[in-house]
Structure 1
Amino acid sequence: MNKVALWEGLCLPKAKGGMGFRRLHEMNKDLLGKQGWRLITMPSTLVTRVFKAHCYPICGFFDSSVGNNPSYIWRSLWEVQDCLKEGCRRAVGNGDDTFIGTDPWLPVDNNPYVETVLHPTVHDAPMSSLMNRHGTGCDVECVKDIFTDRDANLILNIPLSTRRPPDRWIWHWDDKSAYTVKSCYKHLTTVAGDDHPWAKIWSLHIPPKFFWAISSLNDSALPNFVMVCWGLWGSRNERVWNGLGFDSNTVVHRALPFLENWKLANEASTQFSVVAGHPTRWSKPALGRIKLNCDAAICQGSIVMGISWVLRDDEGKFLAAKNTVVPRNYLVKEAEALSIREALSWLISTSMGSVDVEMESQVVFNALFSSSFSSAFGLLIDDVRGLASAIGDVEFHFVKRSVNCTAHVIAREAFLVSGCGEGLDSALLFLVNILELDLMD
């Protein structure tokens, strides 16, 4: 018995009549995709090494073929190859394992592959060969000389981590870049069309796990119908297992209030997380601490953005401010994360610590307290975490625009001056009035 067949025999559930393999073969693509994702992203595991040695020894998973006399499990995994290829992207870290002409590494939805006709030496070269000598960004002139405008703009808009982590695979259809059955299913059903009832049912605002109903009801009646069905199911179980009688009024009066209470609880928690507890004016930090406000500004219609930060002490006195124009056009969340990274990097050089960092991006704030993920944005977040750890005493806070107004003005001012603006000890002239307003009660 070969190794793959042995692994199948040990791991697959056995059904009556020897139907285990057939049931696996009939699994949905989204479920099979998770197994394929593991083969791609976990190359050192025993299962991956066995499959690679037996099924695709001289190539990668995406270049493999079904082969002669394939096992049931390999045929099933191979059938989701196209789906995985469509959703997988390369997150560039150090650029050593991402190849310019063959990998999907450009930050775009439609076609993440380089379209420029390349010389073979460039086509097969790693992405790191396009970076500057410090590895902190791409060589702008080199990129513009080699690639078409479309490819060059996309390449130059890839945020790069200062830590130079290894390149890795990410899942394009998930916010945290990790494969989930739900994200794959959602994409597959979207591609197939939304003319079936499941697309409508999945979008219902009802408690999880109650997504089954008919599509003939209108949008207001459908959630009630689903909840009543859930109530009927619960009543049926009470009848079968506990011998309780069935009463239709009890079912309805139990199910519908449950739905309303669930909606109110979720609406309340959402409002609290966004609004409650957040001040509307800038305030001084606690005694012995300093406060760092960061922001980024995107210049619409251009390929530049401004990043800024302003530093004040526990009396509200100005310590330093800086803004600079970055010749990139990142996503807003990436630009915000970049401004915080550069501010903390600058702060380390001053030997100051015990700092409160305020930002107006809820997305960035939430990401800082979430588990790590591997997209370009995730790598920037990990850079920020690393710098905060090096400083030692950093607290992050999400604030409204009105609290972060000074940093926002400094970021916008970057577009109006040439080069980098920096003020130490004494405020830049245009900041004086804004800083005074922040201190007014």
Structure 2
Amino acid sequence: MVRQKPDSLVTRIFKSRYFPDNHILQASKGNDSSFIWTGIWEAKESLKGGFRWVLGDGKEIKIFKDPWLQGKVDYRVEDHHLNVIRNENVCCYFHPNSKFWDVHKVEHDFHNDDRKLILQTRIPQIEAKDRLAWTSSSKGTYTVKSGYLFWAAQHINNDNNVESQECWLKAGLSFDMQNVEYASSWLLDMFSTEDAEVLQKMAIVLSGIWFSRNRKVWEGKIITPAVAIDLSGKQVRDWQEANSRRHSDNDHSAASNVVSRVVWQPPPPGHFKLNVDAALHKGEGQFALGLILRNDAGVFVKGKNMKVAGEVSVMEAEARGVLEAIKWVEDSGIQCVIVESDSLLVVQALKSTETYQLEVGHILDEWKIKLKSRADLSVCHVKKQANRAAHLMAKVPCLLNCSNCFTSPPGLLVEILSAEFAV
């Protein structure tokens, strides 16, 4: 609470006494400390490795002393340049009176790896303060539960975690769980966004983990991840075969019809619909965005795709896509637009009153400011099956940090656009 609620009475009292000239992570224990502050300080020392800074106006972050740079394991800039002032704030590397990097100064003062990551870091285009975020939460907000999990990961050796990770890899799946605080919420989100093939693999893995742990706990037998996945996969296939015998051909036909109805729908008369999707290139430090604008008759009006450099989360990439869509609408002067994204997390975050401390929080704040001034503009969630055209647009070749604009659909999209227009 001391960091997440800086204006509270408790925070102001502690700050005035124990860290008046810096932030809590730099605070010392001090002499004659109260029992409460001593407890906070000791907990802070155990947990401070789980915090990092999120860039806002750059006035509070010390560029060499604080962890803030995305793409680095420890989030820290490498201090190697002897002629650079060690106590400079990040804002010293902005162009004067602007929210853009001074490229010449950055290139002069940093080596290639850090220089590249700094210039890829997005500076919020709104009034935003620097803030500390908790890296073990998808919202960047500290909770006691996430704090315990972080501490346990540092101090407890859990072989079961290694075995579980191997099970996921054996099934050809890999998820970034670093910022997942509640597995149940994450699993429900996956059910609403992933396709049937991925969900089946997830069911196989979860069943295999459960089976292997039961054998280990109750029978003392060790089953390798490969065997666990094979047995679980066989159970799923046996269930599918048994289940198929119980349904008639008519049942299968009805189920197919239900699935086929999940398609793109044109907007109401007099409106436009703008579909947007993001595609991450894992390990390449870049992501792509695809945008497609269609009218109320389902006719392609124009499209755009872009490739952006940066190490970002899936949620941040999807949020950046929607923000780019809103800006594109503003620049085009188009009225009455419905923006559709297949990221349920992003759309829910927009409508939520919760604060997101990570970079995505600044992006959501920009959304909200823009949407307040545009009553004719709305953002909605849509299933992946109804957003395939935007997904393909994101895959159209594009140079890094460039964009392509289309007044007619590229060849890759002709088939899907024709099928959706016919519907």
TM-score by length of 1: 0.66
The 1:104/1:204 distance shift into structure 2, 3 A limit, reads closer
State which of 15, 18, 34 in structure 2 corresponds to 1:52: 15
- Kept in 1, the 8 Å contact 2:272–2:338? The answer is yes
Q: Residue type of the partner of 2:80?
A: V
Conserved 8 A contact 1:296-1:411: yes
Q: Which of 116, 137, 147 matches 1:184?
A: 147
SS at structure 2 position matched to 1:102:
coil
**Amino acid in the other structure paired with 1:407:** A
Q: Which residue of 2 aligns with 1:171?
A: 134
164-173 or 302-311, larger mean C-alpha shift: 302-311
SS of 2:106's equivalent in the other structure is helix
1:413 corresponding residue in structure 2: 396
Provide structure 1 residue ranges, at least 5 long, that are not aligned to the other structure.
Answer: 1-37, 206-217, 224-275
Count, aligned residues: 340
Distance 2:400 2:43 in 1: 52
| Aligned-partner Cα distance in 2 for 1:104–1:390 | 36
Aligned residue in 1 for 2:277: 295
Question: Once the 2 structures are TM-superposed, how far is the Cα of residue 358 of structure 1 from its aligned partner?
Answer: 1.4
Gaps of 5+ in 2: 161-180, 185-211, 218-257
Are 1:392 and 2:355 matched, yes or no? no
1:67 aligns with 2:30: yes
In structure 2, do the counterparts of structure 1 residues 322 and 122 end up closer, same or farther at CA, with 3 Å as the change threshold? farther
Instruction: Label 1:298 to 1:99 Cα distance change in 2 as closer, same or farther (>3 A).
Output: same
Residue from 40, 63, 87 that aligns with 1:124: 87
Per-residue CA shift, 1:14-65, capped at 9, x if unaligned? xxxxxxxxxxxxxxxxxxxxxxxx3334444333333333334454433333
Give 2:333's aligned residue: 351
SS in 1 for 2:30: coil
Counterparts of 1:185-204 in structure 2, within 5 Å, are 185-194=148-157
1:132-147 alignment, distance < 5 Å: 132=95, 135-147=98-110
**For the Cα contact (< 8 Å) 1:39–1:48, is it kept in 2?**
yes
Displacement of 1:118 in angstroms is 3.8
Q: Structure 2 vs 1, CA of residues 46 and 302 (structure 1 numbering), >3 Å: closer, same or farther?
A: closer
Q: What does 1:38-437 align with in structure 2 at a 5 Å threshold?
A: 38-108=1-71, 110-119=73-82, 121-132=84-95, 135-194=98-157, 280-299=262-281, 302-370=284-352, 371-415=354-398, 419-424=402-407, 426-427=408-409, 431-437=413-419
Cα distance change on mapping 1:136 and 1:435 into 2, 3 Å: farther
Q: Secondary structure of the residue that 2:3 maps to in structure 1? A: helix
How has the CA–CA distance of structure 1 residues 108 and 323 changed in structure 2, closer, same or farther, with 3 Å as cutoff? closer
Q: What's the C-alpha RMSD, in Å, of the aligned pairs?
A: 3.7
Percent identical residues:
29
**3-state secondary structure, aligned to 1:39:** coil
CA drift of 1:169 comes to 1.7
Between Structure 1 and Structure 2, whose CA radius of gyration is higher? 1
Residue pair 1:160, 1:376 contacting (<8 A) in 2 also: no
Deviation at 1:153, TM superposition (A): 3.8
Find the aligned partners of 1:221 and 1:369 in 2 and give their Cα distance. 44
Listed one character per residue, the Cα deviations across residues 306-341 of structure 1 (whole Å, up to 9, x for unaligned) are 222111111112222112232334333222211211
- Shift, 1:361, TM fit: 2.2
- Whole-angstrom CA distance in 2 between matches of 1:119 and 1:42: 37
| TM-score, normalised with respect to structure 2 | 0.69
